[in-house]
Amino acid sequence: MNTNTTESSTSLWFNSESPYLSKEFTDITLIYQSAKGYTALYRASRMGKYFMLKALIPELSEDMFYRSALQKEFDIGYRLLHPYVVQTIGMEEVPGIGLCIVLEWIEGQTLRKWLTCHPSLQERLRIARELCEVLSYLHAQGILHRDLKPENIMITTNGSFVKLIDFGCSDADNYKILKAPAGTRHYAAPELFDPNIIPDGRADLFALGIIFKEMNTPWWKGSWRLAHIGRKCSRKERSRRYNSAQEVNKALTSTKVRTISLITFVLLLTGGLVWRMEQKNSAPNQITQAPTLIKDTLYIVRTDTIIQQHTDTVLVGKKNYIEQQKEKKELQKLIAFTREYTLQEMKKASKIAQDTSISEIDRAAYGNNMYFAIENRIKKEVSQIANPNSLEYTTYLNLAITQMTQTMKEYNAKHPYIINKP
């Protein structure tokens, strides 16, 4: 057996320099200092590796309040061990800098900068799911980040994975001190500034919703699902948001259609008992009735039209034939209006999307607002034919929104450059 190794098959260092492995931090370089905050970030090397050092700015280095804040940030970060969280390695005094939190060095860019590279919708949805995973982990540890924003989310160069950073505003259930409101106002949930409310994980979900909206631009390359989830997460009343990051992640990965058909609505409302008219040729006054689960209300669905299209389905309660026909005409008129108005707005959006004289930001803003504008216009039309507090209002609105969504999809199929949805 030949044991000689040729030069071409030998592994070697291309650089003849021998690395000097120092146990002290060397090559310390200031990379960021907050203009209004109290910390500064340095890159340093030790034992052949890069590290991030987070220290107090010089004028506050001996201030006991800010030293306590830095200690709290270390205590919270040190207990976390997750692939999507920056690793907190230790805390020590560094000559020339003072007390520092030693963090892993992350090679990458902020989410804000990453989005300017125009990642695909699939990539953005993957990042959204990773954010849900890391928030689920934090909240399970009894920790609120309280300063979730694109600048505090790093995307790694290798693999493009999430790394959540900066726990300077974070809070934990077992902490009694430093509980004052904290965060960045645009992303901070309203309840963070209410002394009568104890914040929970839904405060981070509020910020997550704002981030999802920013990730979903430009609108013609976005996702209706991500837009809907972003709106629900960022509702002002926390009771109307998702209850947890797990729920948000489930909504992101769900394959179910969000719009509920009228039949499903009736099934849910009456416990699965849908009573129908006998046949298409039955006389108008020959209605098959049965006991109902809701007092003084009887729901009837016409079998002769239910298979044809939802617009011909009529949901009524103890009303004569004339009233039923009147409601049917009103519903058909509403559906026709919804389709015409949606097409009209989509055509406007088409022109704006192709108008290069308008900035991309303005075009994206128009697209984001278009959906809400159409929805609000539909609500106004429905309120003219039904009491907003009535069952009919909910039924008509569901049907109209279904028609709006269908019209948008049909238009988008012919104009794929307008909206690219999954």
> Has residue 292 got a pLDDT over 90?
no
> Has residue 304 got a pLDDT over 80?
no
What confidence score (pLDDT) does residue 309 get? 32
| Mean pLDDT along residues 142-147 | 95
The vertex-120 CA angle with 117 and 123, nearest 5°, equals 100
Reported pTM:
0.59
| Mean pLDDT along residues 393-417 | 76
> Has residue 301 got a pLDDT over 50?
no
In angstroms, the CA 377 to CA 363 distance is: 21
Q: Name the residue with higher pLDDT: 76 or 410.
A: 76
User: How many CB atoms within 10 Å of residue 27?
Assistant: 11
Place of tokens 């179910």: 256
In angstroms, the CA 347 to CA 343 distance is: 6
Least confident piece of the model among 105-114, 200-209, 245-254, 269-278: 269-278
164 close to 145: Cβ distance less than 8 angstroms: yes
Dump pLDDT digits (tens) for 268-291: 444 433 334 333 444 343 333 333
Token digits of residue 125:
């949805």
Strand partners, 39: 56
Q: 1: burial class by Cβ within 10 Å (0-12, 13-18, 19+)?
A: exposed
Specify the CATH superfamily of domain 108-253. Transferase(Phosphotransferase) domain 1 (1.10.510.10)
Least confident piece of the model among 2-11, 131-140, 234-243, 364-373: 2-11
> Has residue 265 got a pLDDT over 60?
no
Q: Are strands 26-33 and 39-46 parallel, antiparallel or unpaired?
A: antiparallel
Q: Name the residue with higher pLDDT: 259 or 275.
A: 259
Distinct helix (H) and strand (E) counts, the chain: 11, 10
Banded model confidence at residue 312, pLDDT cuts 50, 70, 90? very low
Angle at which helices 321-354 and 360-383 pack, to 10 degrees?
170
DSSP 8: G
In angstroms, the CA 292 to CA 300 distance is: 10
Share the mean pLDDT of the chain.
Answer: 78
Residue from 203, 214, 213 nearest 244 by CA = 203
Banded model confidence at residue 34, pLDDT cuts 50, 70, 90? confident
Task: Write the single-letter amino acid at 6.
Answer: T
Banded model confidence at residue 250, pLDDT cuts 50, 70, 90? very high
114 close to 154: Cβ distance less than 8 angstroms: no
| Mean pLDDT along residues 193-198 | 86
Banded model confidence at residue 330, pLDDT cuts 50, 70, 90? confident
Q: Where are the domains of the chain?
A: 26-104, 108-253, 262-414
| Mean pLDDT along residues 382-400 | 76
Token digits of residue 22:
């120092």
> Has residue 305 got a pLDDT over 60?
no
So what's the architecture of 26-104 in CATH?
2-Layer Sandwich (3.30)
3-state SS record for 354-386: HCCCCCHHHHHHHHHHHHHHHHHHHHHHHHCCC
Strand partners, 155: 109, 162
| Mean pLDDT along residues 145-173 | 95
Q: Name the residue with higher pLDDT: 34 or 77.
A: 77
DSSP H or E run through 233: helix 224-233
Least confident piece of the model among 98-107, 136-145, 327-336: 327-336
What confidence score (pLDDT) does residue 226 get? 94
Peptide bond into 119 cis (omega under 30): no
In angstroms, the CA 394 to CA 384 distance is: 13
| Mean pLDDT along residues 99-123 | 95
Strand partners, 43: 29, 52
Q: Name the residue with higher pLDDT: 23 or 381.
A: 381
What confidence score (pLDDT) does residue 10 get? 57
Q: Name the residue with higher pLDDT: 236 or 37.
A: 236
| Mean pLDDT along residues 336-340 | 89
pLDDT > 90: what percent of the chain?
Answer: 43
In angstroms, the CA 386 to CA 197 distance is: 37
91 close to 65: Cβ distance less than 8 angstroms: no
What confidence score (pLDDT) does residue 318 get? 39
